[in-house]
Amino acid sequence: MSSSSASDVRVREATLADSDVLAELIALFNGPSVRPERTLERMTACAGLERALLAEVDGLVVGFACVGVVPALADDHPHASLTELYVRPDWRRRGVGRQLVKSAEAYAETAAAEHLVLLTGLGNDEAQAFYRALGYDGWAVAMRKRVSP
Ligand SMILES: CC(C)(COP(=O)(O)OP(=O)(O)OC[C@H]1O[C@@H](n2cnc3c(N)ncnc32)[C@H](O)[C@@H]1OP(=O)(O)O)[C@@H](O)C(=O)NCCC(=O)NCCS
């Protein structure tokens, strides 16, 4: 494990050329079902709506975040959401997640959003502690219902 610290972390927007590493990280986070070609298709479909941010240390991608911004019919401000956040296990507790969220917040602010909203698992105590440490707080109840078989 490297001794690199948060100050060595660089966050940049992913491009289509990053689809392989993004697919790898999404699979590590969400399960092994994401093909790189499918990730490339999704990146193209999401252009202008949702972007991936990559955290790099010495050229190694150590984590990613996805942030979406969409215009709102009933609000002058667009709605911004942090839709994914993942840091490779070996790189946790070194400020990488914080840097990714900071970059997502900067993007949301640039896009004139008022808030950055996120969902995290009810049982994901570590992520909840992380978000609270960064100033996030409970604000709504998330509900869902399956609408397709
Ligand atoms: C949540 C996650 C992104 C945090 O990334 P990270 O790079 O380890 O976070 P940071 O090092 O930037 O932590 C910033 C602060 O958050 C808090 N924090 C981070 N991880 C924590 C944990 N496991 N328990 C309690 N507090 C934690 C601490 O206050 C920390 O500051 P400190 O290390 O100086 O004490 C990472 O643990 C992860 O990828 N988890 C698995 C994926 C996941 O659950 N994602 C969120 C889904 S919505």
Per-residue pLDDT reduced to its tens digit, 42-97: 999 999 999 999 999 999 999 999 999 999 999 999 999 999 999 999 999 999 99
- CATH number of the domain to which 93 belongs: 3.40.630.30
Give the span between the Cα atoms of 98 and 5, in whole angstroms: 12
Residue 35: what pLDDT? 82
What atom of ligand 1 comes closest to residue 98's alpha carbon?
A: 12
In a domain, 145, yes or no: no
Give the span between the Cα atoms of 86 and 96, in whole angstroms: 9
Give ligand 1 pocket residues (Cβ under 6 A).
Answer: 29, 85-87, 92-98, 120, 124, 126-127, 129-130, 133
In a domain, 53, yes or no: yes
Nearest CA to ligand 1 atom 31: 93
Give the span between the Cα atoms of 70 and 54, in whole angstroms: 21
The average pLDDT across 4-22 equals 90
Q: Does position 4 have pLDDT exceeding 70, yes or no?
A: no
In a domain, 149, yes or no: no
In a domain, 116, yes or no: yes
Q: How far is the CA of 123 from the centre of ligand 1 (A)?
A: 15
The average pLDDT across 30-36 equals 80
Number of independent structural domains in the chain: 1
- Which residue, 103, 85, 91, 63, is CA-closest to 4? 91
In a domain, 148, yes or no: no
**Which residues fall within 8 angstroms of residue 13, CB to CB, at 6 or more apart?**
51, 52, 53, 54
Q: How confident is the model at residue 34 (pLDDT cuts 50, 70, 90)?
A: confident
CA 83 → CA 13, 51, 77, 80, 106, distances in Å?
Answer: 15, 10, 18, 9, 15
| Entry field: residues in the chain | 149
Nearest CA to ligand 1 atom 44: 127
Range of the domain at 122: 9-133
In a domain, 142, yes or no: no
Which DSSP letter does residue 116 get? E
In a domain, 124, yes or no: yes
Q: Does position 6 have pLDDT exceeding 80, yes or no?
A: no
Cα angle: 29, vertex 2, 99; to 5 degrees: 55
Which DSSP letter does residue 16 get? G
Q: How far is the CA of 37 from the centre of ligand 1 (A)?
A: 30
